[in-house]
Amino acid sequence: MKMNEHALNLLRDLSDAPGASGFEDEVVKVARQYAASIGEMKEDFLRNLYIYRKENTGNKPVLLLDGHSDEVGLIVHSIKPNGCLRFLQLGSWNKNALVSSKVLVRNAKGEYIPGIIAAKPVHFMSAAEKANPSMDISNMVIDIGATSYQDAVENFHVRMGEPVVPATKFYHDEKRGLLFGKAFDCRIGCAAMLEALHRLEGKDLPCDVVAVLSTQEEVGHRGSQVAIHNVKPDIAVVMEGCPADDTFTESYAIQTALGKGPMFRHMDISVICAPRYQRWALDLAAKKGIPVQESVREGGGNNAATVQSTLSGAPAIVAGVPVRYAHSTDCISTEFDFEATVQMVMALLENIDADVIRGM
Protein backbone atom coordinates (compact mmCIF):
# COMPACT_ATOMS: atom_id res chain seq x y z
CA MET A 1 0.00 0.00 0.00
CA LYS A 2 1.46 3.34 -1.10
CA MET A 3 0.74 6.82 0.15
CA ASN A 4 -0.56 9.42 -2.26
CA GLU A 5 1.13 12.78 -2.84
CA HIS A 6 -1.35 14.63 -0.63
CA ALA A 7 -0.71 12.33 2.33
CA LEU A 8 3.06 12.49 1.89
CA ASN A 9 3.08 16.29 1.81
CA LEU A 10 0.77 16.42 4.80
CA LEU A 11 3.00 14.11 6.83
CA ARG A 12 6.18 15.92 5.75
CA ASP A 13 4.81 19.33 6.73
CA LEU A 14 3.47 18.09 10.06
CA SER A 15 6.65 16.18 10.93
CA ASP A 16 8.98 19.06 10.09
CA ALA A 17 6.91 21.63 12.01
CA PRO A 18 8.45 22.45 15.39
CA GLY A 19 5.91 21.79 18.16
CA ALA A 20 7.32 20.97 21.57
CA SER A 21 4.60 20.65 24.23
CA GLY A 22 3.10 24.07 24.88
CA PHE A 23 4.61 25.53 21.70
CA GLU A 24 2.45 23.87 19.02
CA ASP A 25 1.81 27.03 16.95
CA GLU A 26 3.56 25.87 13.76
CA VAL A 27 1.75 22.52 13.85
CA VAL A 28 -1.60 24.25 14.21
CA LYS A 29 -0.71 26.44 11.24
CA VAL A 30 0.06 23.41 9.03
CA ALA A 31 -3.06 21.55 10.18
CA ARG A 32 -5.24 24.57 9.42
CA GLN A 33 -3.97 24.65 5.84
CA TYR A 34 -4.77 21.00 5.22
CA ALA A 35 -8.07 20.93 7.14
CA ALA A 36 -9.62 23.99 5.48
CA SER A 37 -11.76 21.87 3.13
CA ILE A 38 -12.90 19.45 5.87
CA GLY A 39 -15.00 21.89 7.83
CA GLU A 40 -15.19 24.75 10.28
CA MET A 41 -12.30 25.19 12.73
CA LYS A 42 -12.08 26.67 16.20
CA GLU A 43 -9.39 26.98 18.85
CA ASP A 44 -9.33 27.38 22.60
CA PHE A 45 -6.80 29.12 24.85
CA LEU A 46 -4.51 26.05 24.89
CA ARG A 47 -4.44 26.09 21.08
CA ASN A 48 -6.39 22.86 20.81
CA LEU A 49 -7.62 22.92 17.20
CA TYR A 50 -11.20 21.70 16.71
CA ILE A 51 -12.31 20.62 13.22
CA TYR A 52 -16.06 20.16 12.71
CA ARG A 53 -16.94 18.19 9.53
CA LYS A 54 -19.09 20.34 7.34
CA GLU A 55 -21.45 17.36 6.92
CA ASN A 56 -22.21 17.31 10.67
CA THR A 57 -25.94 17.59 11.43
CA GLY A 58 -26.16 18.42 15.12
CA ASN A 59 -28.56 15.52 15.78
CA LYS A 60 -26.28 12.49 15.61
CA PRO A 61 -23.97 11.05 18.28
CA VAL A 62 -20.70 12.94 18.60
CA LEU A 63 -17.51 11.06 17.72
CA LEU A 64 -14.27 12.61 18.91
CA LEU A 65 -11.21 11.95 16.80
CA ASP A 66 -8.15 13.01 18.78
CA GLY A 67 -4.53 13.32 17.71
CA HIS A 68 -2.02 15.22 19.80
CA SER A 69 -0.18 18.03 18.08
CA ASP A 70 2.79 18.30 20.45
CA GLU A 71 6.07 16.38 20.43
CA VAL A 72 8.58 15.66 23.17
CA GLY A 73 10.96 18.62 23.21
CA LEU A 74 13.29 20.59 25.43
CA ILE A 75 13.12 24.05 27.00
CA VAL A 76 15.95 26.50 27.67
CA HIS A 77 16.69 26.64 31.41
CA SER A 78 19.62 29.08 31.48
CA ILE A 79 22.59 30.46 29.57
CA LYS A 80 26.04 29.60 30.93
CA PRO A 81 28.93 32.11 31.01
CA ASN A 82 30.50 30.27 28.03
CA GLY A 83 27.38 30.80 25.90
CA CYS A 84 26.07 27.21 26.11
CA LEU A 85 22.43 26.59 27.04
CA ARG A 86 21.20 24.38 29.85
CA PHE A 87 17.82 22.77 29.25
CA LEU A 88 15.02 20.70 30.77
CA GLN A 89 12.76 18.14 29.12
CA LEU A 90 9.24 18.75 27.85
CA GLY A 91 7.97 15.19 27.96
CA SER A 92 10.06 12.13 28.53
CA TRP A 93 13.19 11.40 26.50
CA ASN A 94 15.53 8.47 26.19
CA LYS A 95 18.57 10.43 27.35
CA ASN A 96 20.87 8.24 25.26
CA ALA A 97 19.24 9.84 22.22
CA LEU A 98 20.18 13.38 23.20
CA VAL A 99 23.95 13.77 23.15
CA SER A 100 25.34 14.76 19.71
CA SER A 101 21.86 15.51 18.36
CA LYS A 102 21.31 18.50 16.13
CA VAL A 103 18.54 20.70 17.48
CA LEU A 104 16.69 23.89 16.67
CA VAL A 105 16.35 26.51 19.41
CA ARG A 106 13.69 29.20 19.14
CA ASN A 107 15.09 32.62 19.92
CA ALA A 108 13.55 35.90 21.03
CA LYS A 109 12.83 36.82 17.39
CA GLY A 110 10.84 33.60 16.88
CA GLU A 111 13.50 32.07 14.62
CA TYR A 112 14.57 28.46 15.11
CA ILE A 113 18.39 28.55 15.12
CA PRO A 114 20.70 25.50 14.93
CA GLY A 115 22.55 23.99 17.86
CA ILE A 116 24.14 20.74 18.92
CA ILE A 117 23.72 18.93 22.22
CA ALA A 118 27.37 18.92 23.15
CA ALA A 119 29.29 15.67 23.44
CA LYS A 120 32.51 15.98 25.41
CA PRO A 121 35.34 15.02 23.05
CA VAL A 122 36.83 11.65 23.91
CA HIS A 123 40.22 13.41 24.18
CA PHE A 124 39.09 15.11 27.38
CA MET A 125 37.33 12.16 29.01
CA SER A 126 38.79 10.29 31.96
CA ALA A 127 38.87 6.49 31.92
CA ALA A 128 35.94 6.48 34.34
CA GLU A 129 33.91 8.82 32.09
CA LYS A 130 34.62 6.66 29.04
CA ALA A 131 33.45 3.54 30.84
CA ASN A 132 30.31 5.15 32.22
CA PRO A 133 29.32 8.37 30.41
CA SER A 134 26.86 10.50 32.35
CA MET A 135 23.42 10.78 30.79
CA ASP A 136 22.19 13.30 33.33
CA ILE A 137 20.30 16.16 31.66
CA SER A 138 21.69 18.64 34.18
CA ASN A 139 25.19 17.96 32.77
CA MET A 140 24.15 18.41 29.14
CA VAL A 141 24.25 21.67 27.20
CA ILE A 142 23.22 22.93 23.79
CA ASP A 143 26.02 24.63 21.90
CA ILE A 144 24.75 27.21 19.42
CA GLY A 145 28.24 28.39 18.56
CA ALA A 146 28.25 31.35 20.94
CA THR A 147 31.41 32.18 22.89
CA SER A 148 29.93 33.93 25.92
CA TYR A 149 26.66 34.75 27.67
CA GLN A 150 26.72 38.18 26.07
CA ASP A 151 27.36 36.74 22.60
CA ALA A 152 24.49 34.25 23.04
CA VAL A 153 22.05 36.96 24.10
CA GLU A 154 23.12 39.82 21.80
CA ASN A 155 23.95 37.96 18.61
CA PHE A 156 21.84 34.79 18.81
CA HIS A 157 18.93 36.31 20.77
CA VAL A 158 18.43 33.20 22.86
CA ARG A 159 16.57 33.43 26.15
CA MET A 160 15.18 31.37 28.98
CA GLY A 161 11.88 29.55 28.42
CA GLU A 162 12.19 29.05 24.67
CA PRO A 163 11.45 25.61 23.12
CA VAL A 164 13.95 23.28 21.45
CA VAL A 165 13.18 20.48 18.98
CA PRO A 166 15.30 18.01 16.96
CA ALA A 167 16.60 19.42 13.66
CA THR A 168 15.62 16.19 11.85
CA LYS A 169 14.09 16.67 8.38
CA PHE A 170 11.50 14.32 6.92
CA TYR A 171 12.81 11.80 4.40
CA HIS A 172 10.80 9.45 2.21
CA ASP A 173 12.46 6.28 0.88
CA GLU A 174 10.12 5.81 -2.04
CA LYS A 175 11.62 2.54 -3.23
CA ARG A 176 11.18 0.78 0.09
CA GLY A 177 8.09 2.62 1.29
CA LEU A 178 9.85 3.90 4.38
CA LEU A 179 9.31 7.16 6.25
CA PHE A 180 11.99 8.83 8.36
CA GLY A 181 11.44 11.93 10.48
CA LYS A 182 10.96 13.46 13.88
CA ALA A 183 7.83 13.76 16.02
CA PHE A 184 5.99 10.82 14.40
CA ASP A 185 4.46 10.55 17.90
CA CYS A 186 1.90 11.87 17.14
CA ARG A 187 2.22 13.77 13.84
CA ILE A 188 1.85 10.55 11.84
CA GLY A 189 -1.36 9.92 13.79
CA CYS A 190 -2.50 13.50 13.09
CA ALA A 191 -1.66 13.03 9.39
CA ALA A 192 -3.61 9.75 9.19
CA MET A 193 -6.57 11.44 10.89
CA LEU A 194 -6.58 14.45 8.53
CA GLU A 195 -6.06 12.21 5.49
CA ALA A 196 -9.01 10.00 6.48
CA LEU A 197 -11.23 13.07 6.96
CA HIS A 198 -10.07 14.43 3.60
CA ARG A 199 -11.06 11.20 1.84
CA LEU A 200 -14.45 11.22 3.58
CA GLU A 201 -15.29 14.77 2.47
CA GLY A 202 -18.85 14.98 1.13
CA LYS A 203 -19.81 11.57 2.54
CA ASP A 204 -22.66 11.02 4.95
CA LEU A 205 -21.51 9.39 8.20
CA PRO A 206 -23.59 7.88 11.03
CA CYS A 207 -21.92 10.18 13.61
CA ASP A 208 -21.06 13.88 13.80
CA VAL A 209 -17.28 13.93 13.81
CA VAL A 210 -15.21 16.49 15.73
CA ALA A 211 -11.47 16.11 15.16
CA VAL A 212 -9.16 17.70 17.69
CA LEU A 213 -5.46 18.31 17.40
CA SER A 214 -4.88 18.44 21.12
CA THR A 215 -1.89 20.11 22.74
CA GLN A 216 0.44 19.19 25.62
CA GLU A 217 -0.19 15.42 25.63
CA GLU A 218 3.44 14.63 26.38
CA VAL A 219 3.38 16.60 29.63
CA GLY A 220 0.24 14.92 30.97
CA HIS A 221 -2.70 14.99 28.52
CA ARG A 222 -3.36 18.63 29.37
CA GLY A 223 -4.90 19.75 26.08
CA SER A 224 -7.32 16.86 25.91
CA GLN A 225 -8.57 17.51 29.45
CA VAL A 226 -9.92 20.82 28.16
CA ALA A 227 -10.98 19.53 24.74
CA ILE A 228 -13.28 16.84 26.18
CA HIS A 229 -15.36 19.52 27.91
CA ASN A 230 -15.80 21.39 24.66
CA VAL A 231 -16.58 18.36 22.47
CA LYS A 232 -18.63 16.28 24.99
CA PRO A 233 -18.11 13.10 22.96
CA ASP A 234 -20.35 10.02 22.97
CA ILE A 235 -17.47 7.89 21.71
CA ALA A 236 -13.84 8.49 20.73
CA VAL A 237 -11.06 7.25 18.49
CA VAL A 238 -7.64 8.37 19.68
CA MET A 239 -4.81 8.48 17.16
CA GLU A 240 -1.22 7.78 18.12
CA GLY A 241 2.23 7.29 16.73
CA CYS A 242 2.97 4.39 19.03
CA PRO A 243 6.35 2.85 19.85
CA ALA A 244 7.25 -0.20 17.77
CA ASP A 245 8.89 -2.97 19.79
CA ASP A 246 10.15 -5.13 16.94
CA THR A 247 13.83 -4.23 17.20
CA PHE A 248 14.24 -4.90 20.93
CA THR A 249 11.78 -7.61 21.90
CA GLU A 250 11.90 -11.39 21.72
CA SER A 251 9.83 -12.50 18.76
CA TYR A 252 7.01 -14.12 20.79
CA ALA A 253 6.42 -10.83 22.62
CA ILE A 254 6.45 -8.45 19.65
CA GLN A 255 3.13 -6.63 19.61
CA THR A 256 3.89 -3.59 17.48
CA ALA A 257 5.95 -4.30 14.38
CA LEU A 258 6.49 -2.17 11.30
CA GLY A 259 4.50 -3.29 8.28
CA LYS A 260 1.62 -4.98 10.14
CA GLY A 261 -0.88 -2.15 10.37
CA PRO A 262 -2.19 0.06 13.17
CA MET A 263 -1.85 -1.14 16.76
CA PHE A 264 -4.92 -1.24 19.00
CA ARG A 265 -3.97 -1.51 22.67
CA HIS A 266 -6.18 -3.38 25.10
CA MET A 267 -4.48 -1.35 27.80
CA ASP A 268 -1.47 0.69 28.78
CA ILE A 269 -0.64 2.06 32.21
CA SER A 270 -2.97 5.02 31.73
CA VAL A 271 -6.12 3.31 30.44
CA ILE A 272 -8.01 0.08 29.78
CA CYS A 273 -9.61 0.78 26.41
CA ALA A 274 -13.34 -0.02 26.56
CA PRO A 275 -13.16 -3.81 26.07
CA ARG A 276 -16.40 -4.28 24.12
CA TYR A 277 -15.47 -1.37 21.81
CA GLN A 278 -11.95 -2.73 21.35
CA ARG A 279 -13.31 -6.19 20.36
CA TRP A 280 -15.85 -4.61 18.04
CA ALA A 281 -13.07 -2.62 16.31
CA LEU A 282 -10.81 -5.68 15.94
CA ASP A 283 -13.76 -7.63 14.47
CA LEU A 284 -14.48 -4.77 12.07
CA ALA A 285 -10.84 -4.84 10.90
CA ALA A 286 -11.07 -8.59 10.28
CA LYS A 287 -14.34 -8.17 8.38
CA LYS A 288 -12.87 -5.43 6.20
CA GLY A 289 -9.57 -7.26 5.69
CA ILE A 290 -7.53 -4.39 7.17
CA PRO A 291 -4.34 -5.56 8.89
CA VAL A 292 -4.16 -4.50 12.54
CA GLN A 293 -2.12 -5.47 15.59
CA GLU A 294 -3.16 -5.66 19.20
CA SER A 295 -1.14 -5.17 22.34
CA VAL A 296 -1.17 -5.21 26.09
CA ARG A 297 1.32 -2.54 27.00
CA GLU A 298 3.61 -2.47 30.01
CA GLY A 299 4.16 1.30 29.78
CA GLY A 300 2.81 4.21 27.80
CA GLY A 301 -0.13 6.54 28.15
CA ASN A 302 -2.43 8.40 25.82
CA ASN A 303 -5.46 10.68 25.56
CA ALA A 304 -7.96 7.78 25.72
CA ALA A 305 -7.26 7.89 29.47
CA THR A 306 -8.67 11.43 29.61
CA VAL A 307 -11.70 10.56 27.49
CA GLN A 308 -12.64 7.60 29.66
CA SER A 309 -12.20 9.47 32.93
CA THR A 310 -13.92 12.77 32.10
CA LEU A 311 -17.62 13.74 31.85
CA SER A 312 -19.54 10.53 31.11
CA GLY A 313 -16.40 8.51 30.39
CA ALA A 314 -17.11 7.91 26.70
CA PRO A 315 -15.66 4.64 25.37
CA ALA A 316 -12.33 5.12 23.61
CA ILE A 317 -9.93 3.05 21.53
CA VAL A 318 -6.49 3.94 20.25
CA ALA A 319 -5.37 3.54 16.64
CA GLY A 320 -1.58 3.79 16.70
CA VAL A 321 0.71 3.92 13.67
CA PRO A 322 3.80 1.85 14.62
CA VAL A 323 6.82 4.14 15.01
CA ARG A 324 10.33 2.94 15.73
CA TYR A 325 12.21 5.13 18.24
CA ALA A 326 9.39 7.39 19.40
CA HIS A 327 10.59 9.95 21.95
CA SER A 328 13.96 10.27 20.29
CA THR A 329 15.24 12.60 17.57
CA ASP A 330 14.66 10.22 14.64
CA CYS A 331 11.75 7.88 13.94
CA ILE A 332 11.00 5.27 11.26
CA SER A 333 7.58 4.24 9.99
CA THR A 334 6.15 2.84 6.76
CA GLU A 335 3.75 3.84 4.02
CA PHE A 336 1.96 0.52 4.50
CA ASP A 337 1.20 1.24 8.16
CA PHE A 338 0.09 4.78 7.39
CA GLU A 339 -2.30 3.62 4.66
CA ALA A 340 -3.68 0.75 6.74
CA THR A 341 -4.34 3.25 9.55
CA VAL A 342 -6.14 5.67 7.22
CA GLN A 343 -8.33 2.83 5.94
CA MET A 344 -9.07 1.65 9.46
CA VAL A 345 -10.03 5.14 10.64
CA MET A 346 -12.33 5.50 7.62
CA ALA A 347 -13.92 2.12 8.40
CA LEU A 348 -14.48 3.17 12.02
CA LEU A 349 -16.07 6.49 11.03
CA GLU A 350 -18.30 4.79 8.48
CA ASN A 351 -19.51 2.11 10.90
CA ILE A 352 -19.81 3.63 14.38
CA ASP A 353 -23.48 4.54 14.78
CA ALA A 354 -25.94 5.07 17.63
CA ASP A 355 -26.63 1.32 17.91
CA VAL A 356 -22.94 0.48 18.16
CA ILE A 357 -22.50 3.11 20.89
CA ARG A 358 -25.51 1.72 22.82
CA GLY A 359 -23.88 -1.72 22.57
CA MET A 360 -20.82 -0.50 24.44
The binding site for Zn ion (CB under 5 A) comprises: 185-186, 240
Cα angle 42, 263, 336 (rounded to 5 degrees) comes to: 90
Buried/exposed 253-279: b ≥16 CB within 10 Å, e otherwise: ebbbbbbbbbbbbbbbebbebbeebbe
Taking the complex as a whole, the smallest distance from the CB of residue 341 to Zn ion amounts, in Å, to 14
CB nearer to Zn ion: give 158 or 228: 228
Taking the complex as a whole, the smallest distance from the CB of residue 303 to Zn ion amounts, in Å, to 8
Q: Which of 71, 95, 82, 250 is nearest to 165 (CA)?
A: 71
Q: How far apart are CA 29 and CA 298, in angstroms?
A: 35
H helix or E strand, kind and range, residue 282:
helix 275-288
CB nearer to Zn ion: give 133 or 220: 220
Taking the complex as a whole, the smallest distance from the CB of residue 337 to Zn ion amounts, in Å, to 15
CB nearer to Zn ion: give 226 or 305: 305
Number of H helices, E strands in the chain: 10, 18
Residues 6+ apart with CB under 8 A from 181: 11, 12, 15, 16, 168, 169, 170, 171, 187, 330, 331
CA 114 to mean position of chain CA atoms: 23
CB nearer to Zn ion: give 195 or 234: 195
Taking the complex as a whole, the smallest distance from the CB of residue 106 to Zn ion amounts, in Å, to 22
Helix then strand then coil, in percent of the chain rounded to 5, is: 30, 25, 40
Taking the complex as a whole, the smallest distance from the CB of residue 325 to Zn ion amounts, in Å, to 13
Burial of residue 77, with CB atoms counted within 10 A of its CB: 0-12 exposed, 13-18 middle, 19 or more buried: middle
CB nearer to Zn ion: give 163 or 300: 300
Taking the complex as a whole, the smallest distance from the CB of residue 262 to Zn ion amounts, in Å, to 14
Q: Which of 12, 6, 8, 2 is nearest to 182 (CA)?
A: 12
Taking the complex as a whole, the smallest distance from the CB of residue 355 to Zn ion amounts, in Å, to 31
Q: How far apart are CA 19 and CA 131, in angstroms?
A: 35
CB nearer to Zn ion: give 186 or 317: 186
Q: Which of 312, 305, 315 is nearest to 235 (CA)?
A: 315
CB nearer to Zn ion: give 17 or 105: 17
CB nearer to Zn ion: give 53 or 187: 187
Taking the complex as a whole, the smallest distance from the CB of residue 315 to Zn ion amounts, in Å, to 20
